[in-house]
Structure 1
Amino acid sequence: MDTTDIKPFPDHTQLPESDGTFVKNFQEHPQSILLTDSIFPHLQRLHPDGQFCIGQDCGIYWRMTEPPEKGAIAPDWFYVPGVPPTLKGEIRRSYVLWQEVIPPLIAIEFVSGNGTEERDKTPWQGKFWVYETVIRPAYYAIYEVKLAQVEVYQLIGHNYQLLTPNNQGHYFIDSLKVSLGIWQGFYQNLELPWLRWWDSQGNLLLTGEERAQRLAEKLRQLGVNPDEI
């Protein structure tokens, strides 16, 4: 068999990083930032070697198609443990499964319609089917800001099983040692039911700004003006 004409599978530098469509509304971008900002210190403690990456509306290539971008799915937020944040010194343009091998631990979709797209189990087309059958993140979450709710599925065997929330209405992600749930509050000029993380003791994981505000308040209680430090 002559292998001289066989082309190697493309890597992230050879695949499109966008399908050219608008995919974000005015809430989804700050929601992604909120998830990343608040969990990042926790992930740094979990990975002191820095071997992890976070994707925000980035493509995960799972099959070869024409055009290539039809073979990708773009979770609104996902986290992959045990992989370097860059590849050969380059920022990832996408996450290519046939090169990376390690699947995301969790993928999160933000519902912008009625949720049927995120729950679609149509073979080779539906998002739920692609996550459950091919990409196989250990956890798949569907967040609906309009309904102030989130569903979290865990991959058990070959299928996703819907988890039951705890007494606080949060879902514990065992591998991460954090919980995921709804927090009603004010963030980036919007009062909404945001999707947020809590630690294993039930404490809300704070953003950098929230941590700074808490520190400033403690200093004021000690009689120190934080603006003079």
Structure 2
Amino acid sequence: MSVAKDRELAIAQPPLDPPLIIPPGNLSSHEPPLESSLHLQQLILLLTSLNWLWQDRTDYFAAGNLTIYYSPNQRKSEDFRGPDFFVVLGTERRPRKSWTLWEEDGKYPNVIVELLSDLTASVDRGLKKEIYQDTFRTLEYFWFDPVSLEFEGFSLVRGRYEPIAPNDQGRRWSDQLQLFLGIHDEQLRFFRPDGSLVPTPEEAARIEQQRADAEQERGDRLATKLRELGIDPDTL
């Protein structure tokens, strides 16, 4: 084949596509405010289970990923934080777009939970802990890492955070909530004082259905036994 023909074919052929590069599957999202689906699921779990347990109460506010504005100058452009989860007691339970101190009688959260991640862990353990201790005076502060399962809790004692010792099950008591916080199935959960798990609404519905099914089964067995004895259960 001639040199001219080779040059003609080379020009006619399209360039080869670059090799496909597949990124690693463990990259963390850098989009604020929640770092992964695990963090989102954990936040929803805390909110839904506490709201289910306290469904008849109207004297608290629980929120996740909501900004707290606390500027002494009453400016939303300065001095604000967004805890992953917090609870304020002794307030009105109603929807809010933010928690603004000067519109809420100066109330700070009674309890804060931060969900650690590679991006936030140092701030959650350091700067935020100082702010919650020295400025917010939040009575109880917990943090939990949904990946490593690191779990710690602190109670404000004479103006300083002191560690909350875990019980034999590794759970830490919240005097503010009158509940334990502990790890169950690799998730941070609430537990009643008797140690029973606080369910989500879906879990509660499933438990109730199981109870109803068991009750129906017992009734069916009793009716069968009565018929074997010649007794019509419908006449009882």
TM-score calculated relative to the size of structure 1: 0.74
Which of the two has higher C-alpha Rg? 2
Number of the residue aligned with 1:6: none
CA RMSD, 1 decimal: 2.1
Find out whether 1:128 has 2:104 as its counterpart: no
Cross-structure match for 2:170:
169
In structure 1, C-alpha distance between the alignment counterparts of 2:32 and 2:209, rounded to whole Å:
39
2:88 paired residue number: 80
Equivalent-residue separation in structure 2 for 1:208 and 1:132 (angstroms)? 33
Which structure has more strand as a fraction of its residues? 1
Q: Per the alignment, in what secondary structure is the counterpart of residue 55 of structure 1?
A: strand
The superposition leaves residues 139-173 of structure 1 with CA deviations (integer Å, 9 ceiling, x where unpaired) of 00111122213101001111111111011100011
Question: Aligned letter for 1:95?
Answer: W
Percent of pairs with identical residues? 25
C-alpha distance in 2, partners of 1:40/1:207? Answer: 9
For 2:99 and 2:146, how far apart are their aligned partners in 1? 27
SS at match of 1:218: helix
1:52-201 → structure 2 map (5 Å cutoff): 52-63=60-71, 68-86=76-94, 91-100=95-104, 101-113=106-118, 115-120=121-126, 126-184=127-185, 193-201=186-194
Aligned residues: 184
Larger helix share, 1 or 2: 2
Question: Is the 2:47–2:63 Cα contact (8 Å) retained in structure 1?
Answer: no
For residues 95 and 221 of structure 1, the distance between their equivalents in structure 2, rounded to whole angstroms, comes to 45
Consecutive unaligned residues of structure 1, counting only runs of 5 or more, are: 1-20, 121-125, 185-192, 225-229
> 1:64, CA displacement in angstroms?
5.7
Please list every run of at least 4 consecutive aligned residues from structure 1 whose deviation after the TM superposition is greater than 4 angstroms: none
Match of 2:38 among 27, 32, 38: 27
Match of 1:7 in 2: none
User: What's the offset of the Cα at 1:32?
Assistant: 1.4
